[in-house]
Structure 1
Amino acid sequence: MAGRANLLNLEAVTAHVPGDASRVLLDAVSLGVERGDRIGVVGLNGGGKTTLLDVLTGDRPVEGGRVSRVGGLRMAHLAQRDAFPEGSRVRDVVLANYGADHEWASDPRIRDVLDGLGITDIERSTDGLSGGEKRRVALAAALIGELDLVVLDEPTNHLDVEGIGWLATHLIERRCAVVVVTHDRWFLDTVCTRTWEVAGGRVESYLGGYADWIYARAERSRQADAAEQRRRNLARKELAWLRRGPPARTSKPRYRIEAAEALIADVPPPRNTVELMQFATNRLGRTVLELEDATVRIAERTLLDRVTWRLGPGDRVGVVGVNGSGKTTFLRALTGERPLDSGKRVQGSTVKLEELSQELVDLPTGMRVLEATEAVAKYVRFGKQEMTASQVLERLGFPASRQWTPVGQLSGGERRRLQLTRLLMSEPNVLLLDEPTNDLDVDTLSNLEDLLDGWPGTLVVVSHDRYLTERVCDTVVALFGDGRITHLPGGIDEYLRRRESASTPVLSTPAAATPRTSAAEQRAAHKEAARLERRMETLATREERLHQQLAEAATDPSRLAELDRELKDVVAERESVELEWLAAAERAEA
């Protein structure tokens, strides 16, 4: 069929780690992308996923084999890093192929992309954009225009739950082919019709999305186990033959293997909520964390308005909300790091609280990974299961070969995984996780969820990873910007329905109309918003520079501590300024 014509083919393609010919990332790989394919690419960090995408797009030459593309192929590539020309505007990046405004403003597809990604000011300079803003601008540039193939490397980074949902719907409704690397399992399952697994230099192809890939991989593992068992049986029979001579002829064993039954039989039991609740109550008592008549203000905005909220023993709560809604500030209020403006915070006497923040913390750079973990504890208990530090490290992406790596040589993602491992080894009974899925591949995410499933404590998770939130949390609450903590019995689906309903325009009668801001007040608000925007750009630049300095100072603990303190101050100020800017922008448009 012409509609399923091949757009791109790889034939026996080989690629190595740059500068290290002994490490093969792609080993004689052959595969193709057909028109209309939506392919998810999965695999361990460093396994070759980004290399595969760079080979597909031609951004990286191959060391062996051939890449062929159909003539006139219209293709866009969202790379892992977002780099824009110095002094450029958002318009220059996103609308580079369009001249006057009327050439794009009347196109509903372009407006849909800009609105869906929250891009409202196309005249803004790209120099002062935060990492998340740069990502959305680069993604918009990749999605605009008539395309045959879109290649996306981590497009869901920095998008909230709504943004990820919009992107999934957008890609499904488009007619072009898609190849995407992402660690967001819900996104993979929703969008993809085929999955490529990159591992050991090979690329295995599976029909379906994430759930289908997991099933196929489990079935492959079951078959391998069955083959190994048959080999062992043959070895035992051969040994018996040698020991006692030719045996009497016997009937052959009969095997009755049904894949579904075998898989279900090997699945561990679901989380035992009653048992974990009993563990948690024994460890925590009745009082964990409580906010009584609490008010939290950020600049002119009220995050919590006289809220009373209780977190009980064994509660597992997911917190959702748009970017900038105050989720991180809410966690800081729970920990006591951010004092309440009024009201009272109560913490139980037996609470041992730990928080995984979005910022990297100081790590003992003079130690090796296993030593830094065992310095916290050599053993940890998850419910009834006891694990060694080495076992926990392996579950969180540190194989035995990496456990003796000096901490100072770890990448940013590995440092965050080590931070999480040390936190779990300290055996807290209350755990607050702020975006724990950052820099984790799908296998590590699955192992983290498995660990948290058996963790007998109280858990609060802020995450845009819908799959993780729905897997490890029993309750979902939302911050809608109305000063309340809203319980959502219907989970994230209910959150999305409420957000969609709130954004639907409603025609008001003159009697019910909201009083408009005066022209003078609007001009003042515009000036204030512009001033705050410049301040945000300055802080974003400082934040990016501090991240670079942190990476450069990896072997200097005292310098790391100083930079980390400065980074926390900058991040806190930027969040405060962003909320002030939002309030000023609302007044300017009223």
Structure 2
Amino acid sequence: MGTISLKNAGHRAGDLLFSSLDLVIADGDRVGLVAPNGRGKSTLLRAMAGLAELSEGSITRSRGLTLGYVPQEVPDVALPQTLSRFVASALDAATLDAEGWRVDVVLDEMAIPAAFRDKPLAELSGGWQRMALLARCWVTQPDALLMDEPTNHLDLGRIMMLEEWMSYAARSLPVVIASHDRAFLDATTNRTLFLRPTEQVYLPLAYSAARAELDQIDAAAQAQRDKELKYATQLRKQAAKLTNVGINSGSDLLVVKSKQLRDRAEKIEAQVQDVHRDRTGLVKLSNSGADARVMMAFDDVPIATPDGRALFTVDKLHIFQGDRIVLLGRNGRGKSQFMRVVTEALGGGAPKGLRISPQLTPGYLDQALAWLPLESSPLEYILHRFDEGDRRTIALLAGAGFPPDRQTKSIRTLSLGQRARVALLALRLEKPNFYLLDEPTNHLDIPGQEQLEADIREQGATTILVTHDRAFLRAVGTRFLLIDRKKLVEVDGPEEFLADQASS
């Protein structure tokens, strides 16, 4: 039986990230590790793997336990290696010489095409690099798995394949998964640790059920806090009355009683616990509005690759104001090319058959965030692009989670989650009424995803969306378009497509 035990574990990195964590993870425990970006998930995983030290407490692994750790990114020094060589590098020379066949077995198990195995990792997509990291971990035949954002860069088919693989290959192992993919956590975990600066919450439930339970716990804590503070206020009022009466009557006894009441009130106020709230900095989007009923209309518009290879045709399609359209389709069927055609059309290059309302004001967010100027700071970028003034720009960035000292650092030094918040702030300041969103949740934590969902639903802006995040598309979409047999067809919902993806 393999176990990972944490005793009074905690860590500071300037701010307190987490503390007082006591936990034993045993065989069959599949733990979802949940916290906003920058709150210690990766640090805790690295410490469990023996790759980092915590500020306090201890981590003990059972004797002989072999840990498999999947980081978020391939190390830069490994990018020149071929995929196969990278996976094989996890084995020592003696094991590789005697059991080199294990590499091919794992590559087959992960369904990595032979054409990719001898290519340098630098030439492969983020998704295939992610599969290489998973294969490199699994080839060591670990007794426990630690996985940091395992679904990043994976398409929907690969995510579902990973879920299926974990259901049989890693079912009996201790597993810890740090992820912002709510549907993936629901499918692969049976416990959830909500990592907080104080008072950790560990529940024997998968994410969605655990989150509902957590909301009730926090609501009860808030009600108790309000009750105690209300009682303290009443004590202070009683003390004030007794003081006045005591002074007027010359009664020392009443003055003493008044002091006792104030002391009790101060003790209650000192012991009252603040209710935890995730404060990561959120950007609220908006909708500048339009009078037009039809924002965009297609009539026999071909969608092709940049080199002219035909993919599918959009026969007739009207996008009405307020529609929230989710584009579905297997990889390689043309979702990205459809988004490219729409993006170019919004920039003035509309093809024949595509009409755009003159009232349409677009806002675009792509998964790579490639248009962000990496050498500029968030403050420079927002100041120069938008006429908001110094003081308002500083306030806007602070509201997005950037204190003054971080506003002047180059965007290159920011995490991907922080870059996403800069991009969302820029999107807000564009004041669009039409959102074109390509994998918008890729780098957002769960609070950020939920805020984006709420903004899109509540503001009513017209939206075209491509995403592999099942929770997000279910929460946001009102119309669903499927690329099927070289046609774009409207379907009633995403579930049949998702079921088909899961079974293939």
2:39 aligns to what SS in structure 1?
coil
Contact 1:463–1:469 at 8 Å: present in 2 too? yes
Q: Does 1:206 align with 2:203?
A: yes
1:463–1:87 distance in 2 versus 1, CA, 3 Å: closer
1:236–1:202 distance in 2 versus 1, CA, 3 Å: closer
Compute the RMSD of aligned alpha carbons: 3.6
* TM-score after normalising by structure 1: 0.67
Instruction: Kindly report which structure 2 residues correspond to 1:12-91, keeping only aligned pairs within 5 A, or say none.
Output: 12-17=8-13, 22-83=14-75, 85=78, 88-91=81-84
Amino acid at match of 2:164: T
2:294 aligns to what SS in structure 1?
coil
Amino acid at match of 1:29: L
* Corresponding position of 2:263: none
1:54–1:234 distance in 2 versus 1, CA, 3 Å: same
* Corresponding position of 1:360: 370
* Corresponding position of 1:345: 354
How far apart are the structure 2 equivalents of 1:29 and 1:113? 36
* Corresponding position of 1:325: 333
Amino acid at match of 1:80: Q
* Corresponding position of 1:159: 154
* Corresponding position of 1:313: 321
* Aligned equivalent of 1:131, options 104, 126, 129: 126
Deviations 1:53-88 (A, max 9, x none): 011011113444332211221221111221264653
* Corresponding position of 1:489: 492
How far apart are the structure 2 equivalents of 1:461 and 1:390? 30
Tell me the percent identity.
23
Q: Does 1:178 align with 2:185?
A: no
Amino acid at match of 2:182: R
Contact 1:356–1:432 at 8 Å: present in 2 too? yes
* Corresponding position of 1:432: 436
Q: Which moved more, 1:190-199 or 1:412-421?
A: 412-421
How far apart are the structure 2 equivalents of 1:367 and 1:154? 25
* Aligned equivalent of 2:300, options 266, 281, 293: 293
Instruction: Kindly report which structure 2 residues correspond to 1:186-335, keeping only aligned pairs within 5 A, or say none.
Output: 186-200=183-197, 203-245=200-242, 283-298=290-305, 299=307, 301-305=309-313, 307-335=315-343
2:407 aligns to what SS in structure 1?
coil
Pick 1 or 2: higher relative contact order, CA cutoff 8 A, min separation 6: 2
How far apart are the structure 2 equivalents of 1:60 and 1:404? 25
Deviation at 1:371, TM superposition (A): 6.6
Contact 2:313–2:487 at 8 Å: present in 1 too? yes
Amino acid at match of 2:129: K
* Corresponding position of 1:562: none
How far apart are the structure 1 equivalents of 2:80 and 2:385? 48
Deviations 1:350-387 (A, max 9, x none): 11122112333346946638974994669xxxxxxxxx
Contact 1:289–1:345 at 8 Å: present in 2 too? yes
1:199 aligns to what SS in structure 2?
coil
How far apart are the structure 1 equivalents of 2:430 and 2:16? 38
Contact 1:171–1:191 at 8 Å: present in 2 too? yes
Amino acid at match of 1:74: T
1:403–1:228 distance in 2 versus 1, CA, 3 Å: farther
1:225–1:102 distance in 2 versus 1, CA, 3 Å: closer
Deviation at 1:32, TM superposition (A): 1.8
Deviations 1:8-51 (A, max 9, x none): 1122334443xxxx444443533221111111111121111101
1:45 aligns to what SS in structure 2?
coil
Q: Which moved more, 1:87-96 or 1:165-174?
A: 87-96
2:316 aligns to what SS in structure 1?
strand
> Which stretches in structure 2 are left out of the alignment for 5+ residues?
246-285
Deviations 1:301-348 (A, max 9, x none): 312336332211111111233444332221121233489896411001
Contact 2:102–2:139 at 8 Å: present in 1 too? no
> Which stretches in structure 1 are left out of the alignment for 5+ residues?
248-275, 379-387, 504-590
Amino acid at match of 1:211: S
How far apart are the structure 2 equivalents of 1:104 and 1:219? 47
Deviation at 1:475, TM superposition (A): 2.0
* Corresponding position of 1:578: none
* Corresponding position of 1:541: none
Amino acid at match of 1:218: D
Q: Does 1:449 align with 2:453?
A: yes
* Corresponding position of 2:6: 10
Deviations 1:94-128 (A, max 9, x none): 35556699945996xx466322x556542333343
Amino acid at match of 2:490: H
1:86–1:313 distance in 2 versus 1, CA, 3 Å: closer
* Corresponding position of 1:477: 481
How far apart are the structure 1 equivalents of 2:36 and 2:115? 36
How far apart are the structure 2 equivalents of 1:292 and 1:40? 46
Amino acid at match of 1:124: K
Deviations 1:162-198 (A, max 9, x none): 1111111221223222111111111112211111122
How far apart are the structure 2 equivalents of 1:353 and 1:86? 37
1:283 aligns to what SS in structure 2?
coil
How far apart are the structure 1 equivalents of 2:208 and 2:395? 26
Q: Which moved more, 1:132-141 or 1:237-246?
A: 237-246
Q: Does 1:168 align with 2:179?
A: no
* Corresponding position of 1:563: none
How far apart are the structure 1 equivalents of 2:365 and 2:395? 20
2:214 aligns to what SS in structure 1?
helix
Deviation at 1:391, TM superposition (A): 9.1
Q: Which moved more, 1:51-60 or 1:441-450?
A: 441-450
Amino acid at match of 1:114: M
Deviations 1:122-154 (A, max 9, x none): 233334333332222111222346432111111
